[in-house]
Structure 1
Amino acid sequence: MKKIMALTVAAIMMLSLAACGSPEEVQPEEQVDYEIAMVTEAGLIMNGGYSEVAWDTISSFGEKRGVSHKYYKAAEASEDAYRQVIDNAVDGGAKLVVADGYLFSQVVYEKQKEYPDVKFVVIDAAPMDEESGEVKVAKNTVEVTFASEQAGYLAGYAAVKEGMSNLGYLGDSKVPLAMDYGYGFLQGADKAAGELGRSVNVAYHYSNSKEDSEAVRSIAKQWYEGGTEVIFACGNKVELPVIEVAEMTNKKVIGYETDKSRMSDTVVTSAVKEIGTALEGVLDQYEDDKFPGGTTIEYTIENNGVRLEMDNAKLENFSKSDYNDIVKKMKNGDISIKKYDSGDIASLGLSHVKVTEQ
């Protein structure tokens, strides 16, 4: 298992290095202006997550449509660095800037006003002023959101239906996206436990800024050794450390956002968001002069924007038929799922799940 992880990390690093040169490889050396820019945080681009999916989508679109494109990665994890990469992208000729994730919420809130002639796409986040809490989607901006709570619900439901009674949820940080995943996970587990007439335990934790990879590994190790059968790892900061511990302890992991089955044999399924489909739709509208500025486009189970990975799943008892049945109920409106703004965990009204927050 350790060998599998080592190869996985090496492959990711190689892909990341290759990606850094990819815009120059597909465009002339004298290319100066890049029309579509992706701005991203200071981590790996080709990380198996939505950064990779977003860049692959932009690259494919650019090559197909003949549109120049490039990504700009922040030098560090700070809002000043995120402001700088957007400035760099605009200076580099960007007419459309795709901002990769909630870390750009504050910065896009500011920059959409500073650059009214530049179009912005914010993935899975809202342009929001941190101080006032005001959300402003300007006429040159599109907000693309996903129903994380629905994806999390499917993950929790499947884990319990699979036969697991001791679950773990580990989120990157206590932000709306992670909370929606976690709240949905708890509600899905509660629904399945009720149907099976059993009780389920869930260890629950949001990582904080002081916790590095070693701290995350320590939490995962404690949980797994304490009887946790599977951990739903939500976030780039927590996913790899959890997988590393799962490989050493022969336990299981649920991935998030994209299909993570290639990362490790320990990943039994993933709560997926169709980021590529969503972004390609906006790019098509942009190129056809129909950019839907000033709007929020929400992808949910109803429009097939979120799902549980089943084709590459390692589930023995939860079948595709079971999955289709629960999806049908969700699409029909028979199931109501609360989001992060419903209150604390007690507000979820769980009947069959005992949550231990850490």
Structure 2
Amino acid sequence: MRRISTLTRAAVGVASLALAATACGGTSSDSNDSGGSKEDLGVAIAYDIGGKGDQSFNDAAYAGLTKAKDEFGYKTADVEPTEGETDADKEQRLSSLAKQGYDPVIGVGFAYGPAMEAVAAKYPDTTFGIVDSVVEGDNVASLVFAEEQASYLAGVAAAKATKTKTVGFVGGVDIPLIHKFQAGYEQGVKDTDPAVKVIPQYLTQTAEEGGFSSPDKGKAAAEGQIEKKADVIYQAAGLSGQGVIEAAAKAKVWAIGVDSDQYKQEALAPYKDYILTSALKDVGGAVYALSKSVQDDKPLTGTQVFDLKVDGVGLSDSNPKMAEVAGLTDAVAKAEEGITSGSIKVRTE
């Protein structure tokens, strides 16, 4: 079974997929005003909703920052979002990091798109990165993932593991990015067993309503799906997903994690026996890859695609109980081969 075992594997893969690479010319004139320089400071990340400690998306980014810090021995910064913040707040945050001399500066999440576009133009000698969105700019690397591919594998696993022939999907916010998770998952389920019913549910219509940051909402949604006989629930809901996992464990049904290997997350240890697997998205590998490219004076720019071929996405196999589900391992391996060969085309909506 293909899984993301290290951040470096994805870093190597994304480097081979780089659409453009330009030489870094040092820091911007504004950053010189602060007394900082690229030689003094390293990578900085600005977190998405949920912040550090979500055991998922943001924590994956932090793992990449930590790897870069340990390997290159430079300073780093990671900055939390604020509740109800505006694009102007995000712009100020990114500008402050660039002005201090951090390079690269990475916005973790599509919500940083408008701010990134504005700030990158003001600091042309700083490399910027954005996760889950495409921003045009000569000094911007857009770090995007084939979430639908990992979700397809999660769907295959769910179809093999269900005993009730009913599985659930909980999305944090009803937006195109999360639609990719749902589309891949549902396709994986149906391709594996057309008789299995999928119950999809979104927690909120907008991120401001707490879809990615409310474990109580995730727990309530999962409890509702369990009442409808779902015995495997895949969540793509950020911090809210912790509530899904808690509800699944309480009911002794399977949960499927997302982004990070949630079976290994310390905060989720009380529930790990019921985390069947996780659809992995190597945000940490992307953060590390961009950091290394800047360190090597060959910063990545343009759109960088992390897919199954470069281990940018995958499915974890940390829970030994996976191997006890009849046919699951072989079915996932067959699906991986089909996706990477192109014989399986995974939908994104």
> TM-score normalised to the size of structure 1?
0.77
Change (3 A) 1:168 1:337: same
Change (3 A) 1:229 1:299: same
Paired with 1:42 and 1:234, the residues of 2 have a C-alpha distance of 13
Counterpart of 2:221 (choices 209, 219, 222) is 219
Which amino acid in the other structure matches residue 137 of structure 2? A
Counterpart of 1:111 (choices 119, 127, 148) is 119
Paired with 1:189 and 1:43, the residues of 2 have a C-alpha distance of 29
Paired with 2:67 and 2:179, the residues of 1 have a C-alpha distance of 32
Which amino acid in the other structure matches residue 53 of structure 2? M
- 3-state SS of paired residue (1:43): coil
CA contact (8 A) 1:73 1:85 kept: no
- The equivalent residue for 2:347 is 338
Mapping 1:108-257, distance limit 5 Å: 108-127=116-135, 137-164=136-163, 165-194=165-194, 199-208=195-204, 209=206, 210=209, 212-257=214-259
Paired with 1:87 and 1:323, the residues of 2 have a C-alpha distance of 44
- The equivalent residue for 1:64 is 71
- The equivalent residue for 1:73 is 80
Structure 1, unpaired ranges of 5+: 1-30, 128-136, 341-358
Paired with 2:75 and 2:259, the residues of 1 have a C-alpha distance of 27
Deviations 1:73-105 (A, max 9, x none): 223342333223212212322232011112212
Deviations 1:170-215 (A, max 9, x none): 1011222211000000111110014xxxx11111112214465434
Deviations 1:229-270 (A, max 9, x none): 111110214201112222222222111111101322221111
Which amino acid in the other structure matches residue 203 of structure 1? I
Which amino acid in the other structure matches residue 339 of structure 1? T
Paired with 1:247 and 1:163, the residues of 2 have a C-alpha distance of 15
Once structures 1 and 2 are overlaid, which stretch shifts more, 45-54 or 181-190? 45-54
Mapping 1:289-304, distance limit 5 Å: 289-293=297-301, 295-304=302-311
- The equivalent residue for 1:346 is none
- The equivalent residue for 1:96 is 104
Change (3 A) 1:311 1:219: closer
Paired with 2:219 and 2:319, the residues of 1 have a C-alpha distance of 25
Paired with 1:336 and 1:63, the residues of 2 have a C-alpha distance of 39
Counterpart of 1:326 (choices 335, 343, 347) is 335
Deviations 1:83-128 (A, max 9, x none): 232122123222320111122122112221222222101122223x
Structure 2, unpaired ranges of 5+: 1-34
- 3-state SS of paired residue (1:228): coil
CA contact (8 A) 2:46 2:94 kept: yes
- The equivalent residue for 1:83 is 91
- 3-state SS of paired residue (2:310): coil
- The equivalent residue for 1:45 is 52
- The equivalent residue for 2:18 is none
Paired with 2:62 and 2:218, the residues of 1 have a C-alpha distance of 28
Which amino acid in the other structure matches residue 175 of structure 1? I
Paired with 1:102 and 1:81, the residues of 2 have a C-alpha distance of 15
- The equivalent residue for 1:133 is none
> TM-score normalised to the size of structure 2?
0.79
Percent of aligned positions that are identical: 23
Change (3 A) 1:309 1:42: closer
Paired residue total: 296
- 3-state SS of paired residue (1:52): helix
Which amino acid in the other structure matches residue 225 of structure 2? W
Paired with 1:120 and 1:159, the residues of 2 have a C-alpha distance of 37
CA contact (8 A) 2:148 2:185 kept: yes
CA contact (8 A) 2:103 2:294 kept: no
| Offset of residue 313 of structure 1 | 5.2
Bigger relative CO (Cα 8 Å, ≥ 6 apart): 2
Which amino acid in the other structure matches residue 34 of structure 1? L
- The equivalent residue for 1:19 is none
Paired with 2:309 and 2:319, the residues of 1 have a C-alpha distance of 22
